[in-house]
Chains A and B, each alone.
Chain A
Amino acid sequence: MPPISPAPQASPTQASPGPAHVGRQGGGAANASISAGALPTGAGSARGGAAAAGGGPVVIRATGVSKKFVSYHKRATSLKEMFVRRGGLSGDDFWALRDINIEIHRGQTVGLAGANGSGKSTTLKVLAGILRPTSGKVEVNGRIASLLELGAGFNGELSGRDNVYLNAALLGLTKRETDRLFDSIVDFAELRHKIDDEVKHYSSGQYVRLGFAVAVHVDPDILLVDEVLAVGDEAFQRKCLAKIEEFRQQGRTILFVTHSLDLIENMCDRVVVLESGKIIHDGAPAVGTKLLRQRLGSSPTEGAGAFSQASVRPETIGYSASPGGPAQMSFEPGESMTFTVGLEADPGHPERIAVRCVVVGQQELPIWVMKTPPEGIRVPDGFSQLDFTIDALPALLGAFAVRVEVADAGTGTPITERRFHDLFGVNGSHGEGLVKVDYEARPRV
Chain B
Amino acid sequence: MTRSPSPSRRAGSGPRHAVRTSQQTPRNGSAPAGSADPGAAPGALTRRSRAQGRVRWELLRNLIRKDLKVKYKGSTLGFAWSLANPLLLLIVYTFLFQVVFKAGVPRFGIYFLAGMLVWNAFAGSVSSACGSVIGNANLVKKVRFPLPVLPLSAVGFAAVHFVLQLLVLVAVVLALGYPLIGGGLLLLIPAGTVALVFTIGMSMLVSALSVRFKDTPHLIEVALVAWVWLNPMVYAFGLIRNHLHEYTWVYLLNPMAIVVATFQRAIYVTSTAKKPDGSTLEVLADPGYLFYLKHLGVAGLISLGVLGLGVWVFRKLQADFAEDL
**B-chain residues with CB within 8 Å of residue A219 when the two chains form the complex:** 30-32, 35
Contact B5 A326 (CB under 8 A): yes
Contact B27 A169 (CB under 8 A): no
Q: Is the C-beta of B46 less than 8 angstroms from some C-beta in chain A?
A: no
Report the separation of the CA atoms of residues A169 and B59 in the bound assembly, to the nearest whole angstrom.
Answer: 5
Q: Which of B102-110, B142-150, B168-176, B188-196 contacts A (4 or more CB under 8 A)?
A: B142-150
| Residue of B9, B10, B59, B322 most packed against chain A (CB within 10 A) | B9
Contact A142 B24 (CB under 8 A): yes
Report the separation of the CA atoms of residues A278 and B7 in the bound assembly, to the nearest whole angstrom.
Answer: 8
Contact A131 B322 (CB under 8 A): yes
Contact B24 A153 (CB under 8 A): no
Given contacts A58-B21, A103-B10, contact A146 B144 (CB under 8 A): yes
Q: How many residues of B contact A (CB 8 A)?
A: 60
Report the separation of the CA atoms of residues A143 and B32 in the bound assembly, to the nearest whole angstrom.
Answer: 11
A342 to chain B, nearest CB (A): 18
Q: Is the C-beta of B215 less than 8 angstroms from some C-beta in chain A?
A: yes
Q: Is the C-beta of B49 less than 8 angstroms from some C-beta in chain A?
A: no
Contact B58 A57 (CB under 8 A): no
Report the separation of the CA atoms of residues A157 and B72 in the bound assembly, to the nearest whole angstrom.
Answer: 11
B316 to chain A, nearest CB (A): 11
B26 to chain A, nearest CB (A): 10
Chain A-chain B contacts (Cβ-Cβ < 8 Å), number? 176
Report the separation of the CA atoms of residues A64 and B17 in the bound assembly, to the nearest whole angstrom.
Answer: 16
Q: Which of A75-83, A300-308, A358-366 contacts B (4 or more CB under 8 A)?
A: A75-83
Q: Is the C-beta of A323 less than 8 angstroms from some C-beta in chain B?
A: no
Could you say which of B55, B143, B214 contacts A153, with CB atoms under 8 Å apart? B143
**A-chain residues with CB within 8 Å of residue B215 when the two chains form the complex:** 78-80
A95 to chain B, nearest CB (A): 13
Report the separation of the CA atoms of residues A184 and B73 in the bound assembly, to the nearest whole angstrom.
Answer: 28
Given contacts A132-B319, A135-B2, A174-B55, contact A77 B144 (CB under 8 A): no
Contact A170 B59 (CB under 8 A): yes
Could you say which of A153, A162, A173 contacts B142, with CB atoms under 8 Å apart? A153
Report the separation of the CA atoms of residues A172 and B53 in the bound assembly, to the nearest whole angstrom.
Answer: 10
Name B5's closest neighbour in chain A (CB-CB). Answer: A326
Could you say which of B8, B33, B37, B54 contacts A101, with CB atoms under 8 Å apart? B8
**B-chain residues with CB within 8 Å of residue A280 when the two chains form the complex:** 7
A328 to chain B, nearest CB (A): 6
The contact sample of 28 A-B pairs, CB cut-off 8 A, is: A23-B25, A34-B16, A43-B12, A44-B9, A44-B12, A57-B20, A64-B3, A79-B215, A100-B8, A102-B8, A103-B17, A130-B140, A131-B322, A135-B1, A142-B24, A142-B38, A146-B143, A148-B143, A153-B142, A153-B143, A158-B66, A158-B70, A165-B62, A171-B143, A221-B27, A221-B37, A321-B11, A327-B7
Which B residues are within 8 Å of any A CB, using their own CB?
1-13, 16-17, 20-21, 24-25, 27, 30-35, 37-39, 51, 54-55, 58-59, 62-63, 66, 69-70, 73, 136, 138-145, 212-216, 219, 319-320, 322-324
Which A residues are within 8 Å of any B CB, using their own CB?
23, 34, 43-45, 47, 51, 54, 57-58, 61, 63-64, 66, 69, 75-80, 82, 99-103, 106, 125, 128-132, 135-137, 141-144, 146, 148-149, 152-153, 155, 157-158, 162, 165-166, 169-175, 177, 219, 221, 250-251, 278-280, 282-283, 321, 325-332, 427
